[in-house]
Structure formats: structure tokens, C-alpha cells
Amino acid sequence: IGSVRPFVNFNAKNDAELLHRAMKGVGTDEDVVLMLLTSRSNDQRQQIKAAYKKAYGKDLVSALKSELGGLFESLIVALMTPPTLYDASQLQKALKGAGTDDDVLIEILASRTGEQIKDITKVYKNEFSAKLEKDICGDTSGHYQKLLVILLQGSREEGVDEEKIEKDAKDLYAAGEGKFGTDEETLIKIIGNRSAEHLRKVFDVYKKLAGSEIEDGIRGETTGNLEDLLLAVVKCARSVPDYFAECLYKCMRRAGTDDSTLMRIMVSRSEVDMLDIRASFQKKYGASLHTTIQHPPSFSTVLFFPPNSPSRKRLFSMCQ
């Protein structure tokens, strides 16, 4: 369940006018911009964008960028971007230039559905005149690259194949903890292709065989980006909200909050499963996500809480 839902009494023309007034004259009323856009769904924001161009003859995102700056500008631009394009642009940003932001590749490709990945691939090609798979292969190597390419196909098997459960569990055990050395090909073939519900059953059988969780086997048998990607896929097979709760916890534990990760998760999950992530965070870490985000204070609080939440009223005193 998402924390941002379509606004009931929505009127794109009126919202466009409110934003125009907020940006008119000296300075911009950032409160109006933030509260209005975070209480509208992404689809409604696209309608506001179209209404704004029709009424004022200019692009709303360009107008907002000219008035805002810093992290706040980045947040607003992200909110105004359609979800599939946002994912595609995050991947392109992670791949371009010197070095690769593997955390972004891992997060998006491990957590999105097959259909979402196929849509991202199409949008990436249209938007950047390049093939996502080719760009990823140019920046990665080895078994890590192979698993990324498998995930990029967006063609996981569906349902549970009861006949394969025990064999898959035994094969996973034999590929890692059950032998000297590691058979990475088997690990990535099973974990990269089976459905999430099938994998959950495989992991249960694996635990009986190995006496430990599959995650322990992966940590003991693999390293680096391959380890991180395998763990992310396993965690998402178990529970996507639990995976993102952990990502949020980690990005706020570092010396200084990792704002780009915080923003990316906040924007991409706000209409999907943010309330589930919030509940998972509370259960896993015994702390409110809201409270954790406030230390240090962050503009991101607004997307984690529904429009009628009292927490919204306190948002601006927490902004940096």
C-alpha cells in the first residue's frame, strides 16, 4: 500500500494556477509547491504539467527548476517524472561517466517486476537512444554481469513447480556450502529465474538441508557485487517491503544521510508499498521510520505519511 494516493477533488487547471502563483514574483512559495505535489499521484502530476503548459505556454518542470535549487529541486523534479522514466534515468545516471553506481543497478533490477523491467528497457532506449543491456555489459563483468542480464530479461518463471523445489534446494546447497569452491552458474540460474513464491519454498528446504539460511551461504561463498546482487534478489523474493526497510535503515546509518538513496526509495515506492515499508521498518528496528528520518531532519518525511497526518504540519520545521 502506498502513502501517496490520487487526490479526491482533483482539478489539474486549478493546481496549475496554484503553482503558477507560488512561483510568481520575488521568491517561490516552496511550501505550496511541496504540499501540493506530494498530495497528488504521479498520474495527476502529469495532468497538472499538461494543464500548466496549456495555460502558461511553458514547461512546468523547467519553471520549477528555474525557481528551486539543491536537494529540494532534485526531489521536485523526481516527483514530476513518470515512474518508468524515473527508473530509467536513475539507471542511466548510474552507468554514465567514470565508475558505476552498482547500488542503483542492484536496487532497481532486484526489486522491480518483470513487466516493470521490460518497460524500463523500452523507455531507456527511447529516451537515451541506447540499449540498457549493452550499457550494463559495458560497465560490468563476470557472474555479476550474467545475473544482471538474466534479471534484465524480465522473464521469471511463474508459480511454483513442486517437482523442482527439493532439487533446486539441493542444487543450491551443492553449488555453495556443499562443495569446495562455488558453482556461481547454478546460483544465478536458480535465483535469477525462479518465481519469488517458488524461491521462498526452496529457501525453506535449503534451511533444513544446510542448517542455515540461504543468505548465510551466499555471504560465505561469494563476494563483492555478485554477493550484494544475490542477497538483494533473495531478500526481494522473501519480501520487497522488508528489503526497502533495510535499505532505508542502512542509508540513514552512514555518517551523514545518503540523500540520493533516501530520495530514490521515497519517490519510487511512495505509491507502491510505502506503508508496508514503514510497518516493516518498525518491526525490524523497533523504531518509527518517521522518527528515524527526523534525525537528521529531512524533507523526505512528507512522502511517508498520508495527507491527513499531523506529521505533515511539522514538516517545514524539520526541513534543512
Region 163-238: CATH code: 1.10.220.10
179 φ, ψ (degrees, to nearest 5): -150, 165
Q: Residue 53: what pLDDT?
A: 98
Task: Decide if 219 contacts 182 (C-beta within 8 A).
Answer: no
* DSSP per-residue string spanning 135-180: HHHHH--HHHHHHHHHHHT-----S--HHHHHHHHHHHHHHTTTSS
CATH of domain 83-153: 1.10.220.10
Distance CA 258, CA 263 (A): 9
The residues, ordered by sequence, that sit 6+ positions from 13 with a Cβ below 8 Å of its Cβ are 51, 55
CATH 1.10.220.10 fits 240-318, yes or no: yes
In whole angstroms, what is the distance from residue 247 CA to residue 237 CA?
15
Residue % of the chain over a pLDDT of 70: 91
On the 0-12 / 13-18 / 19+ scale of CB atoms within 10 A, 244 is buried
Could you count the other beta carbons within 10 Å of the beta carbon of residue 125? 15
pLDDT digits (tens, 9 = 90+) for 252-275: 886 677 889 999 999 999 999 999
What gap in Å lies between CA 69 and CA 43, rounded to an integer? Answer: 24
The pTM for the full model equals 0.91
Domain ranges of the chain: 12-80, 83-153, 163-238, 240-318
Check if the beta carbon of residue 37 is closer than 8 Å to that of residue 73.
no
Contact between 48 and 40 (Cβ < 8 Å): yes
| CA atoms within 13 Å, Cβ hemisphere of 8 | 2
CATH topology assigned to domain 12-80:
Annexin V; domain 1 (1.10.220)
Q: Please tell me if the domain spanning 12-80 has the same topology as the one spanning 83-153.
A: yes
pLDDT in tens, 175-216: 988 776 789 999 999 999 999 999 999 999 999 999 999 999
